[in-house]
Chains A and B, each alone.
Chain A
């Protein structure tokens, strides 16, 4: 608690101070994201699809966790549940102690597509969140200008989104999500739509950014290199129904850069991941074959 209060960007919930319900005493710090026995089921024309099957996980404050798995394994659905965009069918998702039933401004999200408001300039896009939360226009624009400097788009502050490249748009989307100073930043394959070069630059940017914002980050990707490079922990998911297969700690030194991509420890880790995913992928494929 005391350690956390040193960080102005991550304000402790006042509720917890007032209620002061003693947690079961343990030396383990309290998880900021807790997923317990979560199942999510979708209705489809031919019945039901279990997108997420009894998943439990915990993310510690300040951690960077990646969810990796084949497409359709439910990793985005799991992330949406953490965002409050998807209701649990069974089980529970809590963020900062409160169950997620609807989106909350202390949780930011970056999607695969930037989804910037096309009618707003870069500056106004970033200021949207603070304005929506009732901050004055001056205050909101000041926050926006700081973030624009941070993402290096000062020259484009008054540009409209469609005039920017994909990478620049995604940087604006990240800045917009950060404008509300979220305690948790959820990222759903944010670099998936970018070309390889831009993606590498964006990954390095995110590594730098992370040191400055100090938010807990959950990052969905199907790119193992990306997951290992960025994360403290990689959760590997299996397909149909979505489950967490393996929880791997990435004990590589920080600060990291793409230079670690040739580190032996990195390569060993990557081999583990690939083996797991390949076996899973084959299983899922055979299941699909069997069904059709």
Chain B
């Protein structure tokens, strides 16, 4: 009896793995069938095979790597600047009440404005330069990381701080070790949210006008009615942010190393 139940459980497990493995291929297959069935306009809704050809062309033309590195540069540098600033100010506002009274109300007013809404003013300020694109990503990332750090710092166990005080921990070490590491579990959650935000803001930044980049390529392809290229660009963007999120999750697990 029990072996029968066990077998049934493993069968169910294998079945769900199999279905999981078939999920994407099945979707692509159905898409191919529908696009080729002439129910829909294949120019507007190209089959995956056409998309694949467009992507290969994109890679062969040499533009793909230029676009990829332009987008990666904006996301990475923007993310690094925004999160560094967010963490530093979060530690300070979380720890020093006066500074918090000075900055928190301002940050709470600015935080809910979607970064995309800043595109027009960013174009006025920075034109179509790289600085403007970085500004948008930095802006998008900063507030999330600031808030996560600020809350994390306030949640640091007061007992830890007292213990550190009793041991003669200097002020600087108190901030850079006890407070920062005490808040790290919260900060890491903020950073992970920031990874996806940096991709959202990248889209806004490149749609606002650029000379290279994955989203820029999507927009150009749209203007030329290259729907295969548009969809290939979307797929590349999806894959890129998926990889970024997963690798960040792996890093985050190790960042809080004592758990």
Contact = CB atoms under 8 A, between A and B. Distances in A.
Interface of A: 83, 85, 103-105, 107-109, 111, 113, 115-120, 128-129, 132-133, 160, 162, 173, 176-177, 179-180
24 contacts: A85-B166, A103-B168, A104-B168, A105-B166, A105-B168, A109-B162, A111-B162, A115-B159, A115-B162, A116-B163, A117-B163, A118-B258, A119-B257, A119-B258, A128-B167, A129-B167, A129-B168, A132-B164, A132-B170, A132-B173, A162-B258, A162-B259, A176-B167, A179-B167
Chain B interface extent, by class: 10 to 19
A115 B178 CA distance: 12
Given A111-B159, A160-B258, A83 B167 contact: no
Contacts of A115: 157, 159-160, 162-163
Label chain B's interface by main secondary structure.
Answer: helix
Contact of B165 (A103, A113, A116): A103
Q: Give the residue among B167, B168, B184 with the most A Cβ atoms within 10 A.
A: B167
Contacts of A162: 258-259
Nearest to A108: B166
B181 interface: yes
A132 B169 contact: yes
A105 B159 contact: no
Nearest to B257: A119
Nearest to B157: A115
Contacts, number: 60
Contact of B166 (A109, A116, A117, A160): A109
B257 A133 contact: no
Interface string B152-180: 00000101101111111110010000100
A139 B157 CA distance: 29
Contact of B159 (A103, A107, A113, A119): A113
Given A119-B181, A119-B258, A160-B258, A133 B168 contact: yes
A245 B160 CA distance: 33
Contacts of B162: 85, 109, 111, 115
A113 B163 CA distance: 10
Contacts of A83: 166
A118 B259 CA distance: 8
Contacts of B159: 111, 113, 115
A22 B157 CA distance: 45
Nearest to A186: B166
B258 A132 contact: no
B149 to A, nearest CB: 17
Contact of A117 (B168, B170, B178): B178
B157 A132 contact: no
A18 to B, nearest CB: 23
Interface string B244-259: 0000000000000111
A283 to B, nearest CB: 32
B188 to A, nearest CB: 13
Nearest to B256: A119
A108 B166 CA distance: 6
A103 B166 CA distance: 5
Contact of B168 (A119, A120, A160, A180): A180
Nearest to B162: A85
A190 to B, nearest CB: 12
Contacts of B160: 115, 117
Nearest to B185: A118
Contacts of A103: 165-166, 168
